[in-house]
Amino acid sequence: MTNQRRRLTGVVTRLSTEKTVTVQVDRDFRHPLYEKVVRTSKHYLVHDEIGCQPGDKVVIVESKPISKRKRFVIQEVLRKVSQVEVAASQGELIDETVVLDEAVEPEAGEEPEESEEAEAEA
């Protein structure tokens, strides 16, 4: 039997204190008269026992009041953000290094591609 608590999905935007995070919940709906898609977002203060990082996608659930403004608790983390994404969002990555895979060898029956220098000499 499931309970009737509200469950919202959002993204952690910032860490407030030790066990509190701010979660942004986005909502899209069609305007009743003009039928234009309206996008709104709302920020919730959420109790965090799990230890989320900014950028994590989480499911929050209603709970009894924990403090003056905290009425939600993190139920589960849907997607953890990687360390590279955290550093990039904080502006710590100045030089992005791209790791290239080793050169792919041609399959049997295919001719190897000539380099541009060899074509220029011909």
**CA gap 117, 2 in Å, rounded:** 68
pLDDT above 60: residue 122: no
| More confident of the two residues 118 and 77 | 77
Q: Report which DSSP code applies to 50.
A: S
> Side chain identity at 103, as an amino acid letter?
A
**CA gap 64, 72 in Å, rounded:** 8
Q: What is the pLDDT of residues 30-46, one digit of tens each?
A: 999 999 999 999 999 99
**What value does the mean pLDDT take over residues 64-93?**
85
Global pTM reads 0.67
Q: Enumerate domains of the chain plus CATH numbers.
A: 7-89 (2.40.50.140)
pLDDT above 50: residue 118: yes
Q: What is the pLDDT of residues 94-108, one digit of tens each?
A: 555 444 444 555 566
